[in-house]
């Protein structure tokens, strides 16, 4: 498989605090890959660097061979790298429809947007039922569906997801991850950051374990699920 995203020697610091310490990884076209670890390990900072929302101190981030570290966040979105932020970041005073339409605001293929909207509503029927209601009235699970749907309206080449299971009931989490499998099966490449290590490794083809800003383990989902260190640290035994 071809590496769509290539990260080499990535370092990110907040003042004297080294949040990400020289990590390297890649994400292959058509895969789901995951970065897992405890709270504070540097996972979200890694995604912020990929999206251009924080600037790396050192390292290279390449999408389809193009260096991203010199680009602004909106230019990175235009290249096809789109992030669903931790906490969902929906606009609560706008309707569900308006939130979804914002995902397509930089697109020029206006004729295709309606079809993409229909696809999102097929993936998330509960959004269709609430399309003209305020997004702030949605449940947490519905807000996560909306955040993912809005990102899909941008037609990403690589979808970044930051803690999509956070604060959600287990049955809702299972539904979200099933939808991720579906959109990946249609060809979308996904890079997933998660504290829910069990769910992440079930869905991912390959994973990386981040501890204190460093990648300490990597392997296929089943390999990491079976690793004694991962079991002891993240899987309750």
Distance between CA atoms of residues 212 and 197, nearest Å: 16
Residue 14: pLDDT band by 50, 70, 90 thresholds? very high
CATH superfamily of the domain spanning 3-234:
P-loop containing nucleotide triphosphate hydrolases (3.40.50.300)
Distance between CA atoms of residues 95 and 93, nearest Å: 7
Question: H or E segment at 91?
Answer: none
| Mean pLDDT for the stretch of residues 163-186 | 92
Task: Assess whether pLDDT exceeds 90 at residue 234.
Answer: no
Using alpha carbons only, how large is the chain's radius of gyration in Å? 17
Residue 126: pLDDT band by 50, 70, 90 thresholds? very high
User: What per-residue string of b and e applies to 119-139 under the rule 16 or more CB within 10 Å gives b?
Assistant: ebbebbeebeebeeeebeebe
Residue with tokens 């080294």, as numbered in its chain: 18
């Amino acid at each position: 498989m071809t590496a769509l995203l290539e990260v080499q020697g990535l370092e990110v610091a907040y003042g004297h605090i080294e949040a990400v310490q020289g990590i390297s990884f890649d994400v292959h076209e058509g895969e789901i890959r995951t970065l897992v670890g405890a709270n504070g390990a540097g996972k979200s900072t890694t995604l912020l660097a990929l999206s251009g929302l924080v600037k790396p101190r050192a390292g290279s981030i390449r999408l389809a061979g193009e260096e991203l570290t010199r680009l602004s966040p909106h230019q990175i979105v235009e290249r096809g790298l789109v992030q669903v932020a931790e906490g969902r970041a929906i606009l609560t005073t706008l309707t569900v429809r308006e939130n979804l339409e914002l995902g397509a605001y930089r697109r020029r293929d206006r004729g295709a947007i309606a079809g993409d909207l229909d696809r999102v509503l097929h993936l998330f029927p509960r959004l269709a039922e609430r399309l003209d209601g305020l997004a702030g009235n949605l449940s947490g699970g519905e807000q996560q569906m909306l955040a993912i749907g809005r990102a899909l309206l941008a037609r990403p080449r690589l979808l970044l997801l930051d803690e999509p299971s956070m604060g959600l009931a287990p049955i809702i989490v299972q539904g979200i991850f099933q939808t991720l499998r579906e959109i990946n099966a249609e060809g979308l490449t996904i890079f997933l950051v998660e504290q829910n290590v069990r769910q992440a490794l079930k869905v991912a083809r390959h994973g990386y374990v981040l501890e204190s800003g460093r990648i300490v383990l990597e392997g296929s989902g089943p390999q990491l699920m079976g690793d004694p260190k991962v079991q002891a640290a993240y899987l309750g035994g």
